Amino acid sequence: MATIELKNVHAEVADGDEQILHGVDLEVQSGEIHALMGPNGSGKSTTSKVIAGHPAYEVTEGEILLTLEADDFDGIEEIPEDARSWNLLELEPNERAALGVFLAFQYPAEIEGVTMTNFLRTALNAKIEERDELLFGEGEEEEEEEEAGYETSPMEGPADEGEVGVAEFQQLLQEKMELLDMDEKFAQRYLNAGFSGGEKKQNEVLQAAILEPTIAVLDEIDSGLDIDRLQDVADGINALRDEQGTGVLQITHYQRILDYVEPDTVHVMLDGEIVMEGGPEVAEQLEDKGYDWVREQAYNAA
C-alpha cells in the first residue's frame, strides 16, 4: 500500500514571490478516494502541480513524502527496503510518475500522425524503465546500447527486453478499455485529432488505467461533462480504485461527481490551506451552504 503525504507544504510561483500554498497537510493512501474541494483560486491546481513537480512552482517549506510497500507494483515481488521511502521534492517529475504518482499529461501538440495506442505504449515503457532504474538501479545496459546507436524508433520498433511489446500492449489496452467501458476505436485515433471535452477526460482516465499508478491526482475531471459522460468517467475512477487499488485525489469545485465517486475523505481548501475535513457529508453541506459557509466556519474558529 502506497502513501503520499504532504506535510506543511508552502509553495510559491517559481519566478515570483507570491505565496499560494500556506501549509497544506494531506495524506492519501492507495485504495482510498479523497476529494479536494474549494472555490476558484484557492490553490487546488497548485497542490496537484507541486505533487507532480511542475517547474512553475517552488516549494519553500514542508515535505512531500511517498512511502511504498514491498509489493506495490504489479509484477514486482519485492521492492528493496532502501527504495521504499522517497522525498518527492528531490525527484524530477518523470521520476515521480515512474514511482506511481499520476497527474494526467497533455499530449504534446507538435506530435502528428501518432495513434493513442503507440503513444500510450511508449509512455508505459518509459515509465517501467525509469521505475526499475529508481527501485533497482537497473537500466545502464540499455543506456549503453542507446549510446552505441542500437536504439530503434520508440513508436514503431520491436520491444527491448523488459518492455511491453506491441501484441502484449494491445491486449492490455483492450482489457483496460473494457474495464472503462470505452469504445475500442478510441485507441486507434490520432493524438490531438479533435477530441471533445468529454473524450479528453475519458482519455485521462485511460492514461491512468494503462500506467497503473499507486496514487492518481485528477484535477477537475468533471468540468464540462454532460451527465452521461460524467457517469462514464466516474465509473472509470471507481474501477481504478476497485480493480487496481489506485488511490485517488479527486480535485473538484462541485459536489456533483461525488454522487458517483464516493470519497472516503473530503478536504476543503481556502486561500492555500485546508480548513475543513470530513466524510462525504462535508460535500453535501457544501452543496447546501456554499463556500461562504466554510469561510465563516474557518475564520470564526481561528
Q: Could you tell me the smallest distance in angstroms from the CB atom of residue 53 to ligand ADP?
A: 14
Stretch that binds ligand ADP, among 33-41, 76-84, 152-160, 292-300 (CB under 6 A): 33-41
Which residue type does 223 have? S
Name which of 45 and 203 has its Cβ closer to Mg ion.
Answer: 45
One-letter amino acid for residue 66 of the chain: L
Binding track over 46-85 against ligand ADP, x by CB under 6 A: x---------x-----------------------------
Q: Are 132 and 97 in contact (CB under 8 A)?
A: no
Check binding of 214 to ligand ADP (CB under 6 A).
no
Strands lying side by side in the sheet with 33-37: 101-103, 215-219, 247-252, 33-37, 265-270, 273-278
Which amino acid would we find at residue 120? L
Is residue 47 within 8 A of residue 21, CB to CB? The reply is yes
Secondary structure (DSSP) of 171-224 = HHHHHHHHHTT--GGGGGSBTTS---HHHHHHHHHHHHHHH--SEEEEESTTTT
Minimum distance of ligand ADP from residue 261's CB (angstroms): 19
Binding mask 57-96 for Mg ion (x = CB under 5 A): ---x------------------------------------
Give least dist CB 72 to ligand ADP, A.
Answer: 29
First to last CA, the chain: 35
Closest CB to ligand ADP among residues 49, 96: 49
Q: Which cell is 276 given?
A: 475543513
- Binding of ligand ADP by 38 (CB under 6 A): yes
Q: Which of 3, 30, 45, 122 binds ligand ADP (CB under 6 A)?
A: 45
Q: Are 101 and 66 in contact (CB under 8 A)?
A: yes
**Sign of the torsion angle spanned by Cα atoms 291, 293, 298, 302:** positive
Closest distance between ligand ADP and the C-beta of residue 204, in Å?
A: 16
- Contact between 250 and ligand ADP (CB under 6 A)? no
Indicate whether 153 belongs to the interface with ligand ADP (CB under 6 A).
Answer: no
Residue nearer to Mg ion on the CB measure, 44 or 96: 44
| 9 beta partners | 24
Among 3, 30, 42, 255, binds ligand ADP (CB under 6 A): 42
Does position 45 interact with Mg ion (CB under 5 A)? The reply is yes
| Angle (deg, nearest 10), helices 197-211 and 227-244 | 0
> Is 250 an interacting residue with respect to Mg ion (CB under 5 A)?
no
Contact 116, 231 (CB under 8 A): no
Contact set with ligand ADP (CB under 6 A): 13, 18, 20, 38, 40-46, 56
